């Protein structure tokens, strides 16, 4: 029997089950604390975003206008209405460039907002622009708020602990409120910025799914397919992890399962990818924005600048150290590190290769940072633990210095956000009173012709490049709202052979203005049925003053409205009672027998109702895209409609 002493002092035995329970409680507590911190970082992210998007502007009836925000909104309206008509995200639009295939190679900027409009409208058309504006602002702010959570999820799905996830989320906040995050938010490039972090999270999810059940593969398939609708370059960001995971498949069953996952994501992307591929040959070279230094010395210097706010070379070093220490499978880790290296090379050296110029390689600084963040977070956590193992007074000094560095970078980020928004103001939802005056010019002009709005860029008082109409790319939006066909208007629209029909940046209808005689210019106005022009640059106004027949009508500096007197018609040849156009449908009423040539660009998916052959009619002025020719036999009404690439679309849906 035990002695009385032993009875008074019983020994505690730590059974394996007790130890496991304590460890589980510790893990749950650590996870709860980490989730709370990630949530706090998300709130901090939202608070920072309110400097750009004031809360009071979220529910008014106007979209964000600054820079490309209005253009994204207008494109989404067009695509959502096309979805409502015939479940396509692209359309033949008469609003710009004398007719062009909108939502294809002409404007590869993503369709996620269009799908958002379509879903929130009950799979129908967003009829009230004010409601669409609120939905748009919800989408913009919502997707940018997700960045800390996306960065944290990437770390968790890579198998890292919640401390690393918290650090990764903090890096997401740092990346948002420093260059290039601030620049992209200002420019309206929110889809690419957000999708860079979301793609890093998806890549980690795909890796996480290798040893999980079908539910994880289904989530990866659907998530990957949906992500591609945010921006066409998403597909490029998803490739490295896909290759790495395929290399990690050790069984035939696992390989087939992963291949099916990726194939499903690819099939889901065809809604935007197929129109892009079918119009790929229309593209023209452009390299207007997001260029790298262009020289080796300039590119190397960028690696050492405080811009993320950390120097990119420091981010790369932390990610490399984290990659060496992280318990990741070798093939996948190699693919992930190759992605960081590849995106970094594009981001800082890409413009030296002209073949990459159309990618606007400077933008890849964001994917470089977003893919580096979880590995860098692992390296930072590992480095912090190493500091804790120092047994001398140097330990406390080192930890204090590390905390001071974090505080310093946080202050730098806060100061960068404050200075940028103080200098340029928030993303606006209100246009100045002068905009209403220009809008009235558009409404007052006759709709039997097109209006030219000079496109291009202005230089502000700080030397920055800004859109010429109230610091917003609003041309397409105004065309949609006023149902007015425009030429020019947007500096960011086109980048294909259709953009020959433009006026801006000292170029008109494919030629520099000095090389285009006033008489030739006057003939071009007749060719494209132009009845009015709005110019803002001194060069264009000086040129237009020398064109015979143009009448100055209104002035509101720097804008000038000119009228083009004479008879206006959308027919180059033939006679008809009237010609009018809406997206996907051109209506010809009381068309007389004989050959009709419409002053609308021909596209291969156009058909006629009743069935009549449509033929391309070369314009003869250098425009690579011909007009539409119809050989009509009897007097009748004709509808020219977009049947889609399959040819199965009907006039009823297109012309509803």
Q: Rounded CA gap, 353 and 261, in Å?
A: 34
Q: Highest-confidence range of 8-12, 66-70, 409-413, by mean pLDDT?
A: 66-70
Please tell me whether the peptide bond between 558 and the residue prior to it is cis, using omega within 30 degrees of 0.
yes
In terms of Cβ atoms closer than 10 Å to its own Cβ (0-12, 13-18, 19+), residue 263 is: exposed
- For 91-116, the pLDDT digits (tens) are 999 999 999 999 998 777 789 999 99
Residue extents of the structural domains in the chain = 21-55+141-272+285-423, 433-563, 571-654
Q: Rounded CA gap, 416 and 406, in Å?
A: 15
Instruction: List, in order, residues 6 or more apart from 306 with CB less than 8 Å away.
Output: 412
Q: Which residue has the tokens 């977009």?
A: 642
- For 241-257, the pLDDT digits (tens) are 999 999 999 899 999 99
Q: How would you classify residue 37: left for phi > 0, otherwise alpha for psi between -120 and 50, otherwise beta?
A: alpha
- For 559-612, the pLDDT digits (tens) are 999 999 999 999 999 999 999 999 999 999 999 999 999 999 999 999 999 999
Q: Rounded CA gap, 149 and 169, in Å?
A: 6
Residue 405's pLDDT is what? 86
Residue 111 sits at φ, ψ, to 5 deg, of -125, 15
Among 112, 157, 113, 109, smallest CA distance to 135 is for 113
Q: Rounded CA gap, 335 and 204, in Å?
A: 12
Provide the whole-model pTM. 0.91
Residue 637 is inside which H or E element, if any? strand 636-642
Indicate the SS3 state at residue 218. helix
Widest Cα–Cα separation across the chain: 121
Higher pLDDT, 644 or 408: 644
Give the mean pLDDT of 615-620: 97
Q: Rounded CA gap, 90 and 83, in Å?
A: 8
Q: Which residue has the tokens 């230094």?
A: 293
C-alpha neighbours within 13 Å on the C-beta side of residue 118 = 20
Q: Which residue has the tokens 């958002």?
A: 116
Q: Given a cut of 70, is residue 297 above it in pLDDT? A: yes
Q: Given a cut of 80, is residue 292 above it in pLDDT? A: yes
Give the mean pLDDT of 626-649: 96
Vertex 426 angle, CA 79 and 145, to 5° = 65
Q: What is the 3-state secondary structure (H, E, C) of 117-176?
A: HHHHCCCCCCCCHHHHHHHHHHHHHHHHHCHHHHHHHHHHHCCCCHHHHHHHHHHHHHHH
B/e letters for 207-228, b = 16+ CB within 10 Å, e = fewer, are bbbbeeeeebbebbbebbbbbb
- For 405-425, the pLDDT digits (tens) are 888 888 888 889 999 999 889
Q: Which two tokens stand for residue 339?
A: 């992605």
Q: Given a cut of 90, is residue 179 above it in pLDDT? A: no
Q: Rounded CA gap, 265 and 237, in Å?
A: 13
- For 454-501, the pLDDT digits (tens) are 998 877 666 567 788 999 999 999 999 999 999 998 877 767 899 899
Q: Given a cut of 90, is residue 11 above it in pLDDT? A: no
Residue 3's pLDDT is what? 40
Instruction: Dump strand ranges (E) for 514-593.
Output: 530-535, 551-556, 559-563, 571-573, 578-582, 585-591
Look over the chain and give the mean of its residue pLDDT values, rounded to a whole number: 91
Instruction: List, in order, residues 6 or more apart from 139 with CB less than 8 Å away.
Output: 112, 113, 116
The model's confidence at residue 389, banded by pLDDT at 50, 70 and 90, is confident
Parallel, antiparallel, or unpaired: how do β-strands 450-453 and 486-488 relate? parallel
- For 333-351, the pLDDT digits (tens) are 999 999 999 999 999 998 8
Residue 13's pLDDT is what? 44
Identify the sign of the CA torsion 49, 54, 55, 59: negative
Instruction: Dump strand ranges (E) for 363-508.
Output: 450-453, 458-459, 465-466, 486-488, 503-504, 507-508
Residue 453's pLDDT is what? 95
The answer to whether 343 and 282 are in contact (CB under 8 A) is no
Residue 390's pLDDT is what? 78
């Amino acid at each position: 029997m035990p002695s009385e002493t032993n009875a008074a002092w019983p020994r505690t035995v730590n059974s394996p089950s007790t130890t496991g329970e304590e460890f589980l409680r510790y893990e749950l507590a650590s996870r709860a604390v980490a989730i709370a911190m990630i949530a706090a970082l998300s709130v901090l992210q939202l608070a920072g975003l309110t400097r750009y998007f004031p809360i009071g502007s979220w529910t008014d009836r106007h979209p964000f206008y600054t820079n490309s925000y209005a253009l994204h909104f207008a494109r989404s309206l067009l695509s959502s209405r096309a979805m409502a008509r015939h479940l396509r995200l692209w359309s033949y639009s008469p609003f710009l460039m004398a007719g062009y295939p909108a939502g294809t190679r002409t404007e590869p900027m993503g369709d996620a907002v269009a799908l958002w409009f379509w879903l929130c409208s009950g799979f129908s058309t967003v009829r009230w622009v004010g409601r669409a504006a609120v939905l748009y602002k919800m989408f913009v702010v919502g997707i940018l708020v997700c960045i800390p959570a996306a960065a944290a999820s990437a770390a968790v799905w890579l198998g890292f602990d919640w401390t690393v996830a918290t650090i990764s989320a903090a890096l997401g906040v740092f990346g948002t409120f420093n260059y290039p995050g601030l620049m992209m938010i200002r420019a309206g490039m929110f889809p690419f910025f957000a999708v860079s972090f979301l793609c890093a999270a998806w890549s980690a999810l795909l890796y996480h799914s290798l040893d999980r059940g079908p539910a994880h593969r289904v989530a990866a398939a659907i998530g990957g397919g949906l992500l591609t609708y945010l921006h066409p370059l998403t597909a490029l960001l998803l490739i490295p992890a896909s290759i790495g995971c395929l290399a990690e498949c050790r069984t035939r069953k696992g390989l087939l399962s992963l291949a099916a996952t990726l194939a499903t994501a690819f099939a889901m992307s065809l809604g935007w990818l197929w129109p892009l591929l079918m119009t790929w040959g229309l593209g023209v070279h452009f390299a207007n924005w997001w260029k790298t230094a262009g020289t080796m010395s300039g590119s190397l210097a960028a690696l050492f600048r405080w811009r993320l706010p950390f120097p990119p070379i420091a981010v790369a070093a932390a990610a490399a150290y984290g990659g060496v220490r992280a318990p990741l499978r070798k093939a996948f880790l190699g693919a992930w590190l190759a992605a960081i290296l590849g995106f970094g090379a594009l981001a800082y050296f890409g413009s030296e290769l002209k073949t990459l110029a159309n990618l606007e390689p400077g933008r890849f600084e964001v994917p470089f940072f977003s893919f580096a963040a979880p590995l860098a977070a692992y390296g930072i956590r590992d480095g912090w633990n190493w500091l804790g193992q120092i047994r001398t007074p140097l330990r406390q000094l080192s930890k204090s210095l590390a905390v001071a560095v974090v505080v310093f970078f946080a202050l730098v980020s806060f100061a960068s956000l404050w200075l940028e928004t103080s200098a340029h103001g928030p993303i606006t939802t209100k246009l100045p009173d002068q905009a209403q005056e220009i809008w009235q010019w558009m409404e007052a002009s006759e709709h039997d012709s097109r209006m030219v709005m000079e496109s291009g860029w202005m230089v502000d008082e700080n030397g920055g490049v800004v859109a010429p109409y109230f610091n917003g790319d609003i041309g397409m939006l105004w065309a949609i709202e006023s149902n007015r066909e425009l030429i020019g208007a947007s500096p960011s629209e086109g980048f294909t052979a259709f953009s020959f029909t433009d006026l801006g940046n000292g170029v008109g209808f494919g030629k520099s203005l000095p090389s285009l005689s006033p008489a030739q210019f006057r003939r071009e106005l007749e060719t494209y049925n132009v009845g009015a022009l709005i110019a803002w640059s001194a060069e264009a106004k000086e040129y237009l003053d020398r064109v015979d027949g143009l009448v100055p009508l209104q002035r509101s500096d720097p804008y000038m409205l000119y009228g083009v007197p004479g008879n206006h018609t959308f027919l180059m040849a033939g006679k008809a009672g009237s010609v009018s156009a809406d997206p996907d449908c051109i209506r010809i009423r009381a068309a007389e027998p004989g050959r009709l040539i419409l002053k609308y660009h021909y596209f291969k998916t156009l058909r006629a109702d009743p069935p009549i052959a449509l033929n391309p009619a070369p314009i003869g002025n250098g425009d690579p895209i011909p007009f539409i020719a119809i050989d009509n036999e009897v007097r009748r009404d004709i509808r020219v409609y977009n049947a889609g690439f399959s040819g199965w679309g009907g006039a009823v849906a297109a012309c509803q």
